[in-house]
Structure 1
Amino acid sequence: MRILLTNDDGIHAPGLDVLEKLARQFSDDIWIVAPAEEQSGAGHSLTLNRPVRLRQYDERRFAVSGTPTDAVMMALRKVLPGKPDLILSGVNRGANLGDDVTYSGTVSAAIEGALAGIPSIALSQVYAKEGMGDDVPFAAAEAWGAKVLARLLDAPFAPRTLVNVNFPALPAQDVHGIRVVRQGFHDYARGSLVEGTDPRGYQYYWFGLHGIEQTPGHASDLEAIQDGYVSVTPLQLDLTHEGSLGELATRFAG
């Protein structure tokens, strides 16, 4: 089984090393194509206003001077000798829960894989303490990642779908298990906006994505993580709101 690994934290990110260790439990045919630098929050963006450059580190490890989407596209069109059987993106440093998936470069790399018809899984490690930098503990992902992947490898993926996995910010032995849950909803109206002044005296603003949970039924990825479980969420790429089609069609009829 050929597996492509990528991320949005960059080619040197510790989470990518964790992901490689997990992947090698299932295959020796591992290829890594990741952004050269961190691309957190890049979403499903594609580089169009400058050339994308490719740097090779060894036979099957490459860095791309662009976004996670660029990395997957370069892997599929230029680097790999054939189509991979699976794409794994992560392990991201930080959660990708609820509406955050629309910002996430980690999830977007898996989206690009899904668009290419390849089973794709995004994996993220939640952490509790702010300002940890690269010191995020990946113990939960390391201990539970293979358990999650083993159950997904032969699972049928519907066309244009992917799976989003998040590991709670807990020691491995304190994780309660795995829950398959829906995507939650954040209320970002009360999210943080940090305001400051730089050394040259100019004002700046820094967004913080700290939303308020707004999930009916207490059955989403947000609550699963809060309750100490690994969350597994199937996502679809069709964003059409079916319930609105008929209403809008009548407004434009004739």
Structure 2
Amino acid sequence: MRVLISNDDGLDAKGIQTLAETLSGDYNTTVVAPDRNRSGASNSLTLTRPLQPIEVREGQYRIDGTPTDCVNLALSGAINDQEFDAVVSGVNHGPNLGDDVIYSGTVAAALEARHLGRPAIAVSLVGNTHFDTAAKVVLFLIKNLIKDSHTLALPPKIILNVNVPDMAYEALSGFKITRLGHRHSSQPAVTAHHPRGVESYWIGALSEPYDAAPGTDFDAIKNGYVSITPIHADMTCHSVLSTLEDWAGSISI
């Protein structure tokens, strides 16, 4: 099976290199990742200039663009005209829990892969130490999701958002299928010092969750479980369609 690996932390990040080393023992892997940290890039594409894939080492390419750019180019055949059977995005440095997925370049890369017809997994380590644990989790999931020699058995248009506790693999409590929790609103922007007195700010940090009930990804991580959340890109709020249809039918221009 040919696996494309990407991320949003950059080609030289420890997470993606650990993942590539782990998966390459069993699968044909290619790494295509941004040339620098692009955390928070979400689903953005670079449309105002050309992109330049550069092979840094055998089977590993950096692109001066976003995570979505990387997956888009790789799956369109721009990287040595290769084709891929599945895509793994990560291992992200830090969590992608609850509302984090709105901003995450890691999740966006997986969604781009699914949009282009490939099964995909986004994986994040809720910490910054045990990247080997997260890589082993991905290897375990792939081995258990393969339905034939080169296809992952995932529903159409669905990706798996996987978050892994920062602990040794043997210490994990197991796996839980979860829903996304929710965080409080982000903290206020922070004033940044500028040597020339220009008004500058850092975006505020993420807040703690307000919905971390049993069944959420936050709760699974808290209790030492790997959280696996199915995600799709359909943002339609189906539950209010009929209400809005009734409202629209009652008004006139």
Match for residue 138 of structure 1?
A: 131
Query: How far is the alpha carbon of 1:49 from its aligned partner?
Result: 1.8
Partner residue in 1 for 2:72:
73
Report how far residue 24 of structure 1 moved. Answer: 1.9
Hey, what does 1:147 align to over in structure 2? Answer: 140
| Equivalences, count | 245
**In structure 2, how many angstroms separate the alpha carbons of the residues matched to 1:153 and 1:211?**
37
Q: Which residue of 1 aligns with 2:5?
A: 5
TM-score by length of 2: 0.88
Deviates more, 1:144-153 or 1:95-104: 144-153
User: Match of 1:74, as an amino acid?
Assistant: L
Equivalence for 2:233? 237
1:79–1:182 distance in 2 versus 1, CA, 3 Å: same
Contact 1:93–1:136 (CA under 8 A) maintained in structure 2:
no
- Find 2:185's aligned residue among 182, 185, 188: 188
Task: Report SS of the residue matched to 1:200.
Answer: coil
Tell me how far apart the structure 1 counterparts of residues 210 and 163 of structure 2 sit (CA, whole Å): 18
* Paired residue type of 2:21: K
What is the Cα deviation at residue 175 of structure 1? 2.2
Query: Root-mean-square deviation (CA), in Å?
Result: 2.0
The residue that corresponds to 1:204 in the other structure is 200
Hey, what does 1:97 align to over in structure 2?
A: 97
Please state whether the residue corresponding to 1:145 is helix, strand or coil. Answer: helix
Partner-residue secondary structure (3-state), 1:31: strand
1:156 and 2:153 correspond: yes
Moved more, 234-243 or 195-204: 195-204
Q: Which amino acid aligns with 1:160?
A: K
Kept after mapping to 1: 8 A contact 2:189/2:204: yes
Which residue type is aligned with residue 133 of structure 2?
A: A
Other-structure match for 2:38: 39
CA contact (8 A) 1:31 1:80 kept: no
Q: Which runs of 4+ in 1 moved over 4 A?
A: none
Aligned counterparts of 1:74 and 1:214: Cα–Cα separation in 2? 38
2:156 alignment partner AA: P
More divergent stretch after superposition (139-148 vs 107-116): 139-148
| Match in the other structure for 2:29 | 30
Tell me, in whole angstroms, the C-alpha distance in 1 between the residues paired with 2:212 and 2:124. Answer: 23
The answer on whether the counterparts of 2:19 and 2:132 sit within 8 Å (CA) in structure 1 is no
Cα distance, 1:60 vs structure 2: 2.3
Q: 1 CA distance for matches of 2:190 and 2:218?
A: 24
**Residue by residue, what CA displacement relative to the aligned partner does 1:10-69 show, whole Å, maximum 9, x if unpaired?**
111111111112322431x21111111111000000001222112122442211110011
**What residue is the counterpart of 1:130 in the other structure?**
none
Q: Does the 8 Å contact 1:6/1:68 carry over to 2?
A: yes
- TM-score, normalisation: structure 1: 0.88
Q: Using the alignment, how far apart are the partners of 2:208 and 2:88 within structure 1?
A: 29
Distance 1:216 1:62 in 2: 38
> Percent identity, aligned pairs only?
36
Q: Which runs of 5+ in 1 are unaligned?
A: 128-134
Cα gap change, 1:25 to 1:234, in 2 (>3 Å) = farther
Picking from 203, 218, 222, the partner of 2:218 is: 222
Pick closer, same or farther for the CA change 1:216–1:224 going to 2, 3 Å.
closer
